[in-house]
Structures are given as structure tokens and as C-alpha cells.
Amino acid sequence: MRRVIYAMFVVATAGVPLVPGAHAGEPLEQEAAELAREFVGRLKPQLKQAMAEGGPTHAVEVCASEAPRIAESLSAESGWEVRRVSLRQRNASRATPDRWERAVLQQFDQRQLAGEKPADIHFGEFTGESYRYMQAQGVEGVCLVCHGESVAAAIATTLEKYYPDDRATGYHMGQVRGAISVQKPVNQEQR
Ligand code: HEC
């Protein structure tokens, strides 16, 4: 009889994490998703304004200074580490993915090829001492000006000046350009 009860217990709890609070990852995922949205929400208006005011060449300079500033202030405000990464970086010093990020970016490319929209592509999990999360950034019309196949000569010149090793052109609409990557150290109770 005891064995039967034990067997029933095992069946009933199969798939249910045995650590109390094991679903606590969900608020972390929401926080991470919110940070990624906030990053884009702060950068895009600045990019558009810079392009309207001074043209794309000026916008390149704004992008080069504002994107890291936004990442820094979001990190300071939230306690998360916030950055952008890509498999084909423009700024290798900031955007080179680590091993985990590289694997997730590869998975994102696969998912996009399989028909998912970049806006819907994200992934989060606990790794070692941290919770990590990435949100894909899709290529839209406005991105092609600086990341597309035929970049205007004036922009190409500016890009070359700032990024002699630029690998971030030649993209098409709808591709995954890169991702916002956020992580936060977590202790055992938060898992
Ligand atoms: C005016 C030119 C310009 C436009 C338009 C533009 N970008 Fe960029 N992008 C840049 C520059 C410059 C950098 C490098 C910034 C830095 O130094 O960190 C960059 C970097 C990035 C990165 C970080 C990874 C890397 O390669 O360094 C991502 C992701 C990215 N852009 C996505 C986009 C998306 C998505 C759009 C459209 C919504 C877009 N960009 C539009 C100029 C542009």
C-alpha cells in the first residue's frame, strides 16, 4: 500500500519543480522583458529625431553615443546588466556575444527562419548564479539605412570612420539584427 501511495505521489508531482518558489522566475522574466522594451522605447525616438534633424550621418553619431548611455543608465537604475549583442557586430568591443548569448542568437536566427516574427522571439533561463534573458531585434525599414545592403555613401563613410571592422550591413527586412541581452545575479531563494 505504501508503495502505491508513493507511486501516486511521484505521478502527481511529475514535472512540478520540488523547490518551493520554483516558479519565481516568472517575475524576473517580466522584469527582463520590460527592460528590453524600455531600451528600445528610449533609443528609437532619439534615432528618429536625429535622422529627422541631421540626417542619418548625424544619427550614426547619436546611435554610437546614446545606445551605450541608455544601456548604462538602465543598468544603474535596475540592478540588471543591460547590453546589445549581435552575431555580426558593428561595435565588437560592446556587442560581441559570450557563449550563452551566441547560442541564443543562433537559436533566434533559426526561429526567424522558421517563421516567427523577431518581436515575438525571446528566451530566458537561469544559468549558474544568474537569470539571463534576450529579446530579438528585428530589421525594420528604418534600420536598413544603416544596416541594409546598399548603404548611402555618406553613411558608409561615417560608419567606416567609427567602425572600421563593421560587420553589421547587408541585412534584409525581417531578419534578426541582434538582441537586447539582460542578466541579473539571483540567489537560491529567487529561483
Ligand atoms: C543612423 C544609423 C542607424 C540606424 C538607422 C540603425 N542603427 Fe543599429 N547601429 C548603428 C550604430 C552606429 C551602431 C553601433 C553602436 C555602438 O557603437 O554601440 C548600431 C548598433 C546596433 C546594434 C548592436 C549590435 C552591434 O552590431 O553593435 C543593434 C542590435 C542594432 N544596431 C539594431 C538596430 C535596429 C533593430 C535598427 C532599426 C530599428 C537600427 N539598429 C537602426 C546605427 C544605426
> What is the per-residue pLDDT across 87-100, written as a single tens digit (0 to 9) for each?
999 999 999 999 99
Structure confidence by residue, pLDDT tens digits, 100-150: 999 999 999 999 999 999 999 999 999 989 999 999 999 999 999 999 999
Nearest CA to ligand 1 atom 39: 143
Residue of 87, 184, 81 lying closest to 127 (CA atoms): 184
* 134 within some domain: yes
- For Cα atoms 183, 66, 96, give the angle at the middle one, nearest 5 degrees: 45
State residue 4's pLDDT score.
45
Quickly count: other Cβ atoms within 10 Å of residue 44's Cβ: 12
State residue 128's pLDDT score.
87
* 9 within some domain: no
* 61 within some domain: yes
Q: Which residues fall within 8 angstroms of residue 81, CB to CB, at 6 or more apart?
A: 75, 182, 183, 184
Residue 26, pLDDT above cutoff 90: no
* 17 within some domain: no
* 8 within some domain: no
Task: Report the domain count for the chain.
Answer: 1
Q: How close is the Cα of 170 to the center of ligand 1, in Å?
A: 13
Q: How close is the Cα of 115 to the center of ligand 1, in Å?
A: 23
* Report field, pTM of the whole predicted structure over 0.85: yes
d(CA 171, CA 145): 10
Average pLDDT rounded to a whole number, residues 161-174: 95
Average pLDDT rounded to a whole number, residues 163-183: 97
Q: What's the domain range around 60?
A: 22-190
Ligand 1 pocket, Cβ-based, cut-off 6 angstroms: 47, 56, 59-60, 63-64, 67-68, 84, 86, 89-91, 94-95, 137, 139-140, 142-143, 145-147, 168, 177-178
* 119 within some domain: yes
Percent of the chain with pLDDT over 70: 85
Residue 12: band (very low, low, confident or very high) from pLDDT cuts 50, 70, 90: very low
d(CA 20, CA 13): 13
Q: Which of 84, 90, 176 has the most ligand 1 atoms within 8 A of CB, as the residue to mutate?
A: 90
Which of residues 25 and 147 earns the better pLDDT score?
147
State residue 25's pLDDT score.
57
